[in-house]
Every structure is written in C-alpha cells, then in structure tokens.
C-alpha cells in the first residue's frame, strides 16, 4: 500500500511510520521539522520536507507520491499555545488539515486517518466518555480539531472521501518531548532526572486517560482497513489517572525523592476525562496492551539513556 504520513518525524507520527514500514508498506514522510526530529524518522520512509500550511508544496508531494492512504498527524499540539495564539493554532491545525484533505481528494487517496483528541469534548457529563458525548471544547486546540472533523464529514458527503477520526487520550512513551508543554510523563521524568522540582497545575486531582504510543500506532494500523469508515473512535485505556498518580509513578520509576510544587490550573484544561474505547474494540478490533506503570518505566529508561 502507498501511504503518506504528515508529521512523520513527530512523537506519534514517527511511531506510526515505523509500524507502517515494518508492515511492508511504501511510506512517504512529510515533516517541516518545526517540532519533529529527523533522528526519529524511519530511514526507509521517503522524506519530503514540507509544511502542511503550504498548499502548493503539499500538493506537489501528493502529486509525486499518489498515496492510497494518508495519516494526518502534523499539528500544533500545545493547549497553552493555542490559547495564547489561537490564530496560529488554527493556521496549522485547521488550514493545514484542509490542505491535506483537499490534496487527498485531488490526487485520489482512498482514505485519510485523522489524529484528533479528547479535547473536543465538554467537561464530562459521564465517565468514561463515549464518542457521541456533547462536544464543547475548552481550548482553541480542541476547537480546531473539532472543526477538522467537521470538514472531513463535509468532504465525505461531497467528494466521497473515506475517513476515520481517532480521538486520542494523553499519549505517552519514548520520543516524547521532555521540554515542551504537552507530555507530562516526559516533562516530569526530565525534571526529576535533573533534580528539578516538578510543578503540578491544580491540586493534583485533575485526571487524564493515558495511552501508550505503541498502542496508538496499532490503532492507526487497524484504521487502514475498510471496515468502520466515516466514523470516530476513542483511542485510550478508558481509565482515569490523576496528575499526582502520574507524578508518583514517574517518581518511582526514576528513583527520585521529591514532592511536587503546585500552581493554579491553566485555562483550557478539563478537570476530569476518561474515554470509552468499546467502539474501537468492537469495530476496529483494537485493544490497548501496555500497562501504565510499565509504559512509564519504558519512557523513563528511554529518556535516561539519551542524557
């Protein structure tokens, strides 16, 4: 299968690219290296250095590669940055996505798989949250992702483009950036290994649904199949884990002896979330396999080995 991955040198994108190459697919990788790292990119993927916000450059890549399946992972992923600069966030996450979708149509791609987020939901009315839960994003990042989901439905209705939307929980694992705002496991790990006291925003009870990056890559691989098209799937473990529980698990894995500092919760962040993954299990045949503590230990070891 001819496959194109945007954001292929990023945290999740590089793992998806690895899985595709390992499965024997012909993979074209698109990245502008604004946040992705070339060292993470599989050398068997054909690299195209391009920005998804540059419609002409992106269209040129599609014209050369003629992908059958497209994985769209290129994104601005910082919730805090999206709130500080919403137009910048929309430029990448909305306009860049429209460019990608449009190129799919113009160059005959059979299917696109969109990486979306639990941030599209409102503050949960129930837990775990199903895909049909009300959507009322509390961040510009979530709003942009929800807009792109709507554009996919439009393109499916008008042009017959087939798609799947994968709404991720909090993804963690090796290659996560320990210096950014997203990726609390990597951030806590790096700080503890450096002897820096980590900060928890809020009182430590805020919860997220953590899912290991290899499990996310496996969900993307299953999304290539024709079953379950033109639909949305939660990709997460379905388990609430608090900020303090993550802090404590990282502290155990690193062997650190430190207490967290607490600061006011940042705007745009929900208090609680866990995602119902039963639909992905039933239709895609996906099951998360990695235990949280084991996954955190693997990420800690990865970061430690590169220090």
Concerning whether 71 is annotated as a catalytic residue, the answer is no
Structure-token pair, residue 43: 């050398």
> Any idea what DSSP says for residue 91?
I
What is the number of other CB atoms lying within 10 angstroms of the CB of residue 162? Answer: 17
Residue tagged active-site, from 121, 141, 212, 233:
141
- Which residue(s) pair with 115 in the sheet? 166
Is residue 199 within 8 A of residue 259, CB to CB? The reply is no
Cα 239 to Cα 103, 128, 208, 217: the distances in Å are: 37, 8, 8, 19
Q: Contact, 31 vs 41, CB < 8 A?
A: yes
Spatial contact of 113 and 226, defined as CB atoms under 8 Å apart: no
DSSP annotation of 93 reads I
Please give the DSSP secondary-structure letter assigned to residue 146.
H
Catalytic amino acids? 141
């Amino acid at each position: 299968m001819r496959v194109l991955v945007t954001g292929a040198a990023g945290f999740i994108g590089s793992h998806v690219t690895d899985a595709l190459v390992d499965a024997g697919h012909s993979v074209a990788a698109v990245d502008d290296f604004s946040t992705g790292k070339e060292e993470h990119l599989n050398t068997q993927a054909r690299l195209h250095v391009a920005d998804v916000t540059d419609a002409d450059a992106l269209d040129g890549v599609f014209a050369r590669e003629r992908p059958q399946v497209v994985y769209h992972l290129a994104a601005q992923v910082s919730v805090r940055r999206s709130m500080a600069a919403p137009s910048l966030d929309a430029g990448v996450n909305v306009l860049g996505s429209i460019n990608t979708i449009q190129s799919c149509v113009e160059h005959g791609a059979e299917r696109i798989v969109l990486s979306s987020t639990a941030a599209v939901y409102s503050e949960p009315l129930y837990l775990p949250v199903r895909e049909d839960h009300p959507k009322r994003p509390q961040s510009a990042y979530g709003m942009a992702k929800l807009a792109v989901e709507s554009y996919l439905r439009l393109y499916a209705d008008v042009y017959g483009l087939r798609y799947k939307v994968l709404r991720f929980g909090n993804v963690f694992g090796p290659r996560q950036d320990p210096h950014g705002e997203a990726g609390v496991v990597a951030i806590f790990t790096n700080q503890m290994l450096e002897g820096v006291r980590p900060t928890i925003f809020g009182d430590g009870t805020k919860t997220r649904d953590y899912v290991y990056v290899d499990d996310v890559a496996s969900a993307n691989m299953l999304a290539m199949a024709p079953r379950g098209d033109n639909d949305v799937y939660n990709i997460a473990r379905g388990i609430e884990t608090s900020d303090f529980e993550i802090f404590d698990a990282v502290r155990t894995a690193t062997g650190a002896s430190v207490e967290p500092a607490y600061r006011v919760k940042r705007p745009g962040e929900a208090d609680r979330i866990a995602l119902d993954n039963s639909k992905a299990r039933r239709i895609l045949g996906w099951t998360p396999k990695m235990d949280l503590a084991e996954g955190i230990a693997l990420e800690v070891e990865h970061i430690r080995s590169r220090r």
